[in-house]
């Protein structure tokens, strides 16, 4: 498994302090969040693409990791991701380039993982 | 015609100082820009939605005007726009609410214009 | 009544398109929002001050209007607001100065309104 | 005199609430601010160009007005400004375009004012 | 001592290049900075909370480390911090979640350190 | 060679996924980019300083690395960089301080490298 996926899973394995805190805001936000991504007039995949674009422009590395994993599960192709990267470059400017590079490298890592997983199963 | 469309067109009617300046960067950027929105693995409509989401989060009012006009031409429905608005609210936070309100009001203005245009033609 | 308050109320008088849209995300967010400001270990006033500081740094003018009105209702004093403005200047940098100027002028408008209201009642 | 210059001067004509407030932070910041722009190893003009670029990317309209007026006084040429605009477009992305358009129009307004002033004097 | 505290102290142990540079701006800013946090109509603790909220939204990790250490010294409780985190989530949007998670983990690290320190003393 | 330079070079040694992707947007952007930095009415050095200031305010660490290397090649002095740092502090606010510290440390690393390189040659 790739290094960035592993780091992300380790993070996911931490105790969820917000949930355990009993603070109602976190609980409600956790309920609200998946509703925003539900299959609707826009598909879940399109919504994940939108969230990815915002995360790139806001430079939230862990958000990008999360949405790229989701998009992999939703079978977004490399070409789709690169067209999104190209658009965020034009709209967001050259300061997003390092983020795009890391994102493209991570997307490739995920592809590789998926390929190996598929081979293992057969 | 709605007030915000008119203001936008007035702006468009101004001399294009950048083009006239002979500065090569503006010329090249003007050529590059439409390429990023071309129909590809992602549709032009999806790309316009991505640009709209970024523009909302960066709070670029004139960018929003432009992309909403484009999305109207591409026949994006009200439900599609509202699902995008809902997503940017969750991802972008409550500081985008005033921008979303103005955007929704403007989208309605555009719908109204389109309806009247259609009636005039018949 | 001051001009900016009036403009804000006019906005509030508009149809609430998001509520009417039936989109569940807006409904849930509208329920979640007041929970975040509830009197708790931090007071509602402190939470409004936090929201004001974020709104200044993100340059969301209508958010600032809203939180200044709320803080007026919660009887935040001019000195408290100016200490907050001073802090956001140091933390946020000189690009927040124009926003701070408009905010201070608006806070004075609200004070004036409150004073006149109090005089009318006696 | 152009409209945007006038609006800016009107703003300048307002009472300086921060100075009058007696809050020490504003006083000290007001002393610190000009030091950052002093002629040094970098010229005042270069520093004003840097401040203008940041103001464009942070979309602070009144900051831009201020720095363009300063740069006019320092005799920055139209070509210099357009090269700066071109750079902020590439680094900052297409969301700065509306800001750049308004900035270029305002720079022209300032040029026009200067030309008329020069003619009046002769 | 926790890892993040250690890294922060190591950073603090570096030569203060700005102070040594003799550049007057850094010197004046260093004098101005503590004034903004002085006990006033707003308490130092409230001001630190404001600075923390801005740092979260601007995603400045080292700023967050600094303000969390300060808030620990000022005896801010876990509940107070979680209410602030909840508010920044609602106002700032889901892109702050990874930052909030790391901040909560670090706040716990600081609590643990304080507890052990207290035990050692008795 | 310093650690940060090495990390940067390693990144540069990665396959250029965007170029290889055949996506026309990346190709065109790669052509456009150097044009924005060409010696013109503003010097290449001034343009690199502008890009550095924007990168600091947008907190793009790899962008800063890149522009500091370029500015080293263009023989920008330590004093010039510190005056730029001082200005971005005043305009950008205290949240840029950690970024400035790392940038100053890296600039020193580059100076050191250059000095050793010069000694080796003689």
List of long-range contacts for F10-13, beta carbons under 8 Å, 24+ apart? F11/A98, F11/A101, F11/F62
Helices (H), chain C: 3-13, 17-20, 24-36, 44-57, 61-73, 78-92, 97-121
Tell me, yes or no, if A41 comes closer than 8 A to chain C by beta carbon: no
The residues, any chain, with a CB within 8 Å of residue E6's CB and separated by 6 or more, are none
Is the pLDDT score of C81 beyond 80?
A: yes
Mutate to test the interface with D, among F37, F74, F91, F93 (most CBs of D within 10 A): F91
Higher-scoring residue by pLDDT: F63, B2: F63
Res E1: pLDDT: 64
Nearest CA in chain D to B33: D94
Task: Please indicate whether, in this complex, the C-beta atoms of B92 and E95 are within 8 angstroms of each other.
Answer: yes
CA E14 to chain F, closest CA, distance in angstroms equals 9
Is the pLDDT score of A121 beyond 90?
A: no
Whether residue A1 contacts residue A113, with contact meaning beta carbons closer than 8 Å, is answered with: yes
Is the pLDDT score of C55 beyond 90?
A: yes
Mean pLDDT in chain B?
Answer: 93
Mean pLDDT in chain A?
Answer: 93
Res B11: pLDDT: 76
Give the containing element (helix H, strand E) for F84. Answer: helix F78-92
Res A74: pLDDT: 97
d(CA A95, CA C87): 28
Please list every residue in chain E whose beta carbon sits closer than 8 Å to the beta carbon of residue F95.
Answer: 54-55, 58, 60, 63
Whether residue F41 contacts residue D83, with contact meaning beta carbons closer than 8 Å, is answered with: yes
Burial category of D109 from C-beta neighbours within 10 Å (exposed 0-12, middle 13-18, buried 19 and up): middle
In 3D, which of E35, E38, E34 has the Cα closest to residue E46? E38
Res F122: pLDDT: 66
Helices (H), chain B: 3-13, 17-20, 24-36, 44-57, 61-73, 78-92, 97-121
Tell me, yes or no, if F85 comes closer than 8 A to chain C by beta carbon: no
Is the pLDDT score of A27 beyond 90?
A: yes
d(CA F87, CA F93): 10
Tell me, yes or no, if D95 comes closer than 8 A to chain C by beta carbon: no
Please list every residue in chain E whose beta carbon sits closer than 8 Å to the beta carbon of residue D32.
Answer: 25, 28-29, 32
C-alpha triplet A45, A49, A54: angle, nearest 5°: 150
d(CA B12, CA D9): 28
Low-confidence stretches of chain E (pLDDT < 50) are none
Nearest to C36 among A25, A35, A36 (CB): A25
Least confidently predicted of D48-62, E105-119, F25-39: E105-119
Whether residue F71 contacts residue F48, with contact meaning beta carbons closer than 8 Å, is answered with: yes
pLDDT, tens digit, for every residue of B8-30?
A: 888 777 888 998 899 999 999 99
ipTM: 0.93
The token pair at D4 is 């945007």
Task: Please indicate whether, in this complex, the C-beta atoms of F83 and E59 are within 8 angstroms of each other.
Answer: no
pLDDT, tens digit, for every residue of A94-109?
A: 999 999 999 999 999 9
Is the pLDDT score of D52 beyond 70?
A: yes
Task: Please indicate whether, in this complex, the C-beta atoms of D83 and B54 are within 8 angstroms of each other.
Answer: no
> Hey, which residues 45-64 in chain D have their CB within 8 Å of chain F?
46-47, 49-51, 53-55, 57-58
Res C122: pLDDT: 66
Mutate to test the interface with E, among A62, A64, A65, A95 (most CBs of E within 10 A): A62
Please list every residue in chain F whose beta carbon sits closer than 8 Å to the beta carbon of residue B32.
Answer: 25, 28-29, 32
Please list every residue in chain B whose beta carbon sits closer than 8 Å to the beta carbon of residue A59.
Answer: none
- What DSSP assignment string belongs to A28-62? HHHHHHHHHTSSSSS-HHHHHHHHHHHHHHTT-HH
Q: Give mean pLDDT, residues D56-73.
A: 97
Nearest CA in chain B to F41: B23
Is the pLDDT score of D122 beyond 70?
A: no
Res B1: pLDDT: 64
- C118 pLDDT band (50/70/90 cuts)? confident
In 3D, which of F84, E41, D61, E61 has the Cα closest to residue C87? E41
């Amino acid at each position: 498994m790739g290094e960035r996926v592993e780091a992300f899973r380790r993070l996911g394995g931490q105790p969820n302090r917000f949930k355990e805190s009993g603070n109602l805001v976190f609980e409600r936000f956790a309920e609200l969040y998946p509703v925003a991504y539900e299959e609707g007039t826009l598909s879940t995949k399109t919504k994940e693409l939108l969230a990815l674009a915002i995360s790139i422009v806001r430079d939230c590395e862990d958000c990008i990791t999360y949405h790229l994993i989701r998009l992999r599960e939703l079978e977004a192709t490399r070409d789709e991701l690169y067209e999104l990267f190209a658009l965020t470059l034009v709209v967001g400017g050259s300061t997003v380039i390092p983020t795009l590079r890391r994102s493209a490298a991570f997307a490739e890592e995920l592809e590789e993982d998926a390929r190996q997983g598929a081979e293992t199963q057969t």
